[in-house]
Amino acid sequence: MKTVYDFTVKDRQGNDFSLSSLQGKVLLIVNTATGCGFTPHYEPLEAMYKELKDQGFEILDFPCNQFANQAPGNDDEIHEFCTLKFGTEFPQFRKIDVNGENAEPLFAFLATEKPFAGFGKGLKNAALNKFADMNNKQYGEKAYIKWNFTKFLIDREGKVIARFEPTVDMSEVRAAVAAALQA
Q: Which residues are catalytic, by number? A: 36
Contacts of 174 (CB under 8 A, 6+ apart): 44, 48
DSSP assignments along the chain, one per residue = ---GGG-EEEBTTS-EEEGGGGTTSEEEEEEE-TTSTTGGGHHHHHHHHHHHGGGTEEEEEEEB-TTTT---S-HHHHHHHHHHHH---S-BB--BB-SSTTB-HHHHHHHHHS------SSHHHHHHHHHHHHHHGGGGGG----STT-EEEE-TTS-EEEEE-TTS-HHHHHHHHHHHHH-
